[in-house]
Structure 1
Amino acid sequence: MVAGRTGVPPRDLENVARRTVGQPAAATRTSTLGATLRADVTELTVSCLSMAVGVGDAPTTSDEDIAELGGRAAQWAREGVPLRAVLGVYHEGIQMGWDLVSERATGNLKAVAKAFVALSERISTAASASYVDELQAVASEHHTAAHTVVTALLSGHNARSVARQSGIELADSFTVLAVSIAAHPDESNPALPRAVTARRKLRRVQAELALVCDRSPLSMLSAEGGTILVPGERDDEWVATLVERMSVAAETAVTATVATSSVNDVPAASDQVHELLDLAQQLRRPAGVYRMTDLVLEYQLTRPGPGRAYLSRVLVPLDNSPELLETLEIHINHDLNRQRSARQLHLHTNTVDYRLKRIAHLTGFDPTRPSGMRHLQAALVARKLEAISPSA
């Protein structure tokens, strides 16, 4: 008798496997699987058991047999079965084989144990590789399908039809975000490949985006930003949390503009939020989340014309007094709070008051009165926009 031979007839292996798979511990592991996959568990367990028992008779198992056995993990990857559960089934069969061999073996058990360890490693490696390869293929297929659906949504061309063909469920409404991702500090490090650093940043953002969203969001992102379509209408707090988590993942500042729309209005909503994002960046607004309500005055003033040209000239009398322009802008940014404005300017509040009076005298608009401040705030925005794109 060969060392390690079990004496277990092949026809009995399936009965052993079925009894083991039916035990409470194993039944718990497979309870979430469908009937077809539960049957696959038994079949796979039999295969692992048979291969493991055969170690006593044929210490070397061919690469082809190992690859075929490991390849069965691919189907489970596509079905969404966790890798931990898949490897558990493989190891169950191998463990059963070891129990049979060790109980009945004669001769050099140490040699058989070494062969078992080697076999277990080969099977685990083959199964893991097959699972990961299939998972990557599935992810690639979904990415391609999602990209196709996003393109259809943004162009307004047969989005529902494209979504059905791609196997993606389309919501009735979307929260549309235009996103700008600032450069990571490492992207300016000459010792590091910029493209690699940027790509890693993007992957972290995409991973965080998938975690925050219940289902994979539809997005078209680069390392600099892009468009995100989140199914349903999300409130301000949810969007703020999403952008904050994206910023943490990116390890840099993220600015987003947001709107909600129906499926048919996604193209218009996308155009609007990207226009708002450009505006926020042109005005050097701090990173964060902006809606139309936050930039409505600035948005309206982006339209060149005689009104904007007039407003931009309101502040010309302050050109020779840059400290007055600075005071006005800081005062507006602090919601007209004199104390906070004074702290940032490192001045006494009386000095701030004096400068505000000077602004009123030179421009004709009093920044301490609502009517005057409205004109001055609009004038500041118009002045910046005229510098970027002058009216005809």
Structure 2
Amino acid sequence: MTRDNTRQNGRRALCVAGRPIAAHLRARVPRLTRGVLARLLAELPVYAELPQEEIAGDVAEIVQHSLRQFADVVERRRPARPEEFVRQRDSAALRAEEGVPLDAILTAYNIGAAMAWDELTAGAEPSDLAAVQETLGYFLDFQRLLISAVSSAYLEVRQIIDSQEHGGRHALMTALLAGETVEHTGRRPAPRYAVLSLAFGAHPDEAGSGQRARIAARRKIRRVRTVLDDVADEPALTALDASGGTALLPFSAGWDVLHDMVAKAAEAAGIRVTAAAEITGPAGIPAAAAQTAEIMDLVRRAARPPGLYRLADVLLDYQLSRPSGALAGLAGLLAPLDRKPELLRTLEHYLALDLDRRTTGAALHVHPNTVAYRVRRISDLTGLDPARPGDLQLLNAALVARRSLTAS
């Protein structure tokens, strides 16, 4: 006895253009599968990179399974159930392990769905409207459940993988900073690292303590990390919070790249970014991390502008911050200004702004003539004149020594 394809569950089958939809779809599965695979290879480069046996095997099988599954839905005239998408979930998990992006997987399913719908509705006439509408309801529901199953399975696997990778990177970073062996981390160190101490300014959206502020802080950190990863030879090792932190960049480029990176990070995150950096091999990371932290401290104390700093940029400050019998004597040169805070602030700005009275006045919100008067008072009280090269060096050194002793 032959099967009556025009009746299903005791009622007439859904038909379009005079043909039962379910039976027509089943008959077209092989041809549709070939067409879907051809489009995947042509339009999605990530699928073209998969082994041919995988395309002809697992990928082709999941396309065929989904088409036949929808044919069953139409034949039964009953919506699909979430638990019926086990095979699609398993396939999505495999793609996640292979590193296939989720958007490529969802695009692949949408390509298959669009081609199947074109096949189902080919030749439809006005008299088929009711059947097309009912089929469309099943189709949209099927696609919703399918995308949900695929996305959740993919993200579950990626969360596990990312957690493991993050754990491995964290262990590697901890070992490198401590100067310990890295064999237990299961990861191999890069031959060369840029060691960074970072300080972040606050984004305007971080004002307050609500959810908006927390989201803004996470967004800022994420954007900075993206810039670091773009420059690094492989994903950067980072320990960052809203105020800054430490980063180890596997790095083979030069200092100019690091300078540009800091500027790009500031632009991407919409904040001020200050960085102290050193380039070294794995064995030199503990010393480099300590040094960059100290450089950052000196930069902050001197109220220097944002940007990238190396030891060469703060040599005088660095040397004068070392314990020395001369430190107190240098700082003492400015003792006559202890009771004149406005003179001390003027001296700091005047030296930092290259002895420019107008720029100093603008920074202090006073007239340039006031700056000139205060500079004369400083000379009278200390006996040191910034206009004399020798005295200028002493004044700079005295300020650095004073900041070092204050910090201590």
Q: Distance in 2 between matches of 1:190 and 1:91?
A: 42
How much does 1:311 deviate?
A: 0.5
How much does 1:103 deviate?
A: 5.5
How much does 1:315 deviate?
A: 0.9
Q: Distance in 1 between matches of 2:153 and 2:401?
A: 60
Q: Distance in 2 between matches of 1:313 and 1:64?
A: 79
1:144 to 1:100, Cα distance in 2 relative to 1, 3 A: same
AA matched with 2:23: G
AA matched with 1:15: P
How much does 1:252 deviate?
A: 3.4
Cα deviations by residue, 1:294-333 (Å, 9 ceiling, x for unpaired): 1111112222332101101011123344444333222211
The 5 A counterparts of 1:77-88 are: 77-88=96-107
Cα deviations by residue, 1:168-222 (Å, 9 ceiling, x for unpaired): x532111110012234445452555765654444344334444554632111112
> Are the equivalent residues in 1 in contact too, given 2:233–2:249 (CA < 8 A)?
no
1:114 pairs with 2:137: yes
Greater mean deviation of Cα atoms: 84-93 or 375-384: 84-93
Q: Which residue of 1 aligns with 2:73?
A: 55
Q: Provide TM-score, normalisation by structure 1.
A: 0.85
The 5 A counterparts of 1:371-390 are: 371-389=390-408
1:181 to 1:68, Cα distance in 2 relative to 1, 3 A: same
How much does 1:143 deviate?
A: 1.5
Q: Which residue of 2 aligns with 1:124?
A: 147
AA matched with 1:38: I
> Are the equivalent residues in 2 in contact too, given 1:175–1:234 (CA < 8 A)?
no
> Are the equivalent residues in 1 in contact too, given 2:328–2:401 (CA < 8 A)?
yes
Q: Distance in 2 between matches of 1:327 and 1:114?
A: 76
SS of structure 2 residue aligned to 1:41: helix
The 5 A counterparts of 1:113-262 are: 113-159=136-182, 161-162=183-184, 165-166=186-187, 170-189=189-208, 198-211=217-230, 213=232, 215-262=234-281
Q: Which residue of 1 aligns with 2:55?
A: 38
Percentage identity across aligned positions? Answer: 34
Question: Cα RMSD between the aligned structures?
Answer: 3.1
Greater mean deviation of Cα atoms: 285-294 or 261-270: 285-294
SS of structure 2 residue aligned to 1:180: strand
Greater mean deviation of Cα atoms: 102-111 or 282-291: 102-111
The 5 A counterparts of 1:245-284 are: 245-284=264-303
1:217 to 1:252, Cα distance in 2 relative to 1, 3 A: same
AA matched with 2:154: Y
SS of structure 1 residue aligned to 2:64: helix
> Are the equivalent residues in 2 in contact too, given 1:48–1:90 (CA < 8 A)?
no
Q: Distance in 1 between matches of 2:203 and 2:86?
A: 42
How much does 1:113 deviate?
A: 2.5
Q: Which residue of 1 aligns with 2:23?
A: 7
SS of structure 1 residue aligned to 2:197: strand
Q: Distance in 2 between matches of 1:112 and 1:95?
A: 14
How much does 1:21 deviate?
A: 4.2
Q: Distance in 1 between matches of 2:322 and 2:228?
A: 34
1:386 to 1:60, Cα distance in 2 relative to 1, 3 A: same
> Are the equivalent residues in 2 in contact too, given 1:342–1:352 (CA < 8 A)?
yes
1:387 to 1:99, Cα distance in 2 relative to 1, 3 A: closer
AA matched with 1:280: V
Q: Distance in 2 between matches of 1:240 and 1:48?
A: 52
1:209 to 1:372, Cα distance in 2 relative to 1, 3 A: same
Greater mean deviation of Cα atoms: 281-290 or 268-277: 281-290
SS of structure 2 residue aligned to 1:172: coil
1:117 to 1:145, Cα distance in 2 relative to 1, 3 A: same
Q: Distance in 2 between matches of 1:185 and 1:92?
A: 43
1:265 to 1:214, Cα distance in 2 relative to 1, 3 A: closer
How much does 1:226 deviate?
A: 1.2
How much does 1:38 deviate?
A: 1.8
Greater mean deviation of Cα atoms: 339-348 or 108-117: 339-348
AA matched with 1:308: L
Q: Distance in 1 between matches of 2:212 and 2:104?
A: 38
SS of structure 2 residue aligned to 1:170: coil
1:206 to 1:22, Cα distance in 2 relative to 1, 3 A: closer
1:97 to 1:359, Cα distance in 2 relative to 1, 3 A: closer
Within the candidate set 290, 314, 319, 2:338 is matched to: 319
SS of structure 1 residue aligned to 2:318: helix
Cα deviations by residue, 1:118-168 (Å, 9 ceiling, x for unpaired): 112211222122223333333222211111111111112123x356x24xx
1:262 to 1:73, Cα distance in 2 relative to 1, 3 A: same
Unaligned regions of 5+ residues in structure 1, if any?
none
Number of residue pairs the alignment of both structures matches: 383
> Are the equivalent residues in 2 in contact too, given 1:181–1:253 (CA < 8 A)?
yes
Q: Distance in 1 between matches of 2:404 and 2:74?
A: 82
Q: Distance in 2 between matches of 1:119 and 1:156?
A: 55
AA matched with 2:67: L
Q: Which residue of 2 aligns with 1:290?
A: 309
> Are the equivalent residues in 1 in contact too, given 2:198–2:244 (CA < 8 A)?
yes
